[in-house]
Amino acid sequence: MNWLAKINLQVVTERLGPFKSAVFLVTLIVICLFTGYRVGNYYHNFQVSTLAQQKQRLVDLYQQQTKQVERIHTLEVELTLEQLANQNAQVTLKQMADEHYQVKKQLAFYEKVMAPEKEADGLVIDNVIINATLSPNHYNFQVILVQQLLKKRYAKGYIDIEIIGSLDNKPSRVKLKDISELVRKDLSFSFKYFQVLEGGFTLPENFIAEKIQLSAVLTKNKWQEYQKLNKTLAWSIE
């Protein structure tokens, strides 16, 4: 810019004259204004183009973010569905296992009844089931008896139950006749294949049951000898 400093307007005016000097100054001003306009317009277009690119990039980033969020939601839904399906599959497998166990249990029971050659001959206490009721300390029971003689005759007799546990932190035993209104007739059996005996009892307050001892007594008659079968089971509520 040193050349501008060297320009002396008075010398230019003296050499060119007032009119030419004015034309020269106007021309110089116009050239400067035009050059400034073009340069400014160039930078303006550059800034507009850059801003448009940045806006487009921002739009693209928003779209990518939206797609990623949708993908995450889709994966979360798929994961939830898979977890539900897995839970349902586990429930179904458990149900099938329980049904399989019950079928095997029933099959084993009927094998005892219909195919006694697979077991020892005689009377068998197949199962004892204890169920709690809504009344405090009151329980219902089921006793399942099976006869396994090859040549079956009617098995006749009765059962007796004794509950073993503790009362007030001391060992104790209670007989069914003392905690129930059942009589000998209610506990008698007479069957050829199997029979289910049912009843209820109420345990004393503060009595903690630990075991149940069942006795099945075959009374002596013309067709059978006296026999007493005992079975002790852990106390279990179903």
Any idea where the domains of the chain sit in the sequence?
Answer: 2-57, 120-234
* Residues 18-32, mean pLDDT to the nearest whole number: 73
Any idea which of 19-23, 33-37, 69-73, 81-85 has the lowest mean pLDDT?
19-23
pLDDT confidence of residue 162? 95
Q: What tens digit of pLDDT does each residue of 151-181 get?
A: 667 888 999 999 999 998 899 999 999 999 9
HSE (CB half, 13 Å, CA atoms) of 110? 5
- φ/ψ region of 206 (left if φ > 0, alpha if ψ in -120 to 50, else beta) reads left
pLDDT confidence of residue 6? 53
CATH code of the domain made up of 120-234: 2.60.40.1400
Dihedral (C-alpha) 44, 50, 52, 53: value to the nearest 10 degrees? 160
* Residues 113-120, mean pLDDT to the nearest whole number: 44
Any idea which of 121-130, 155-164, 212-221 has the lowest mean pLDDT?
121-130
pLDDT range class, residue 65, cuts 50, 70, 90: confident
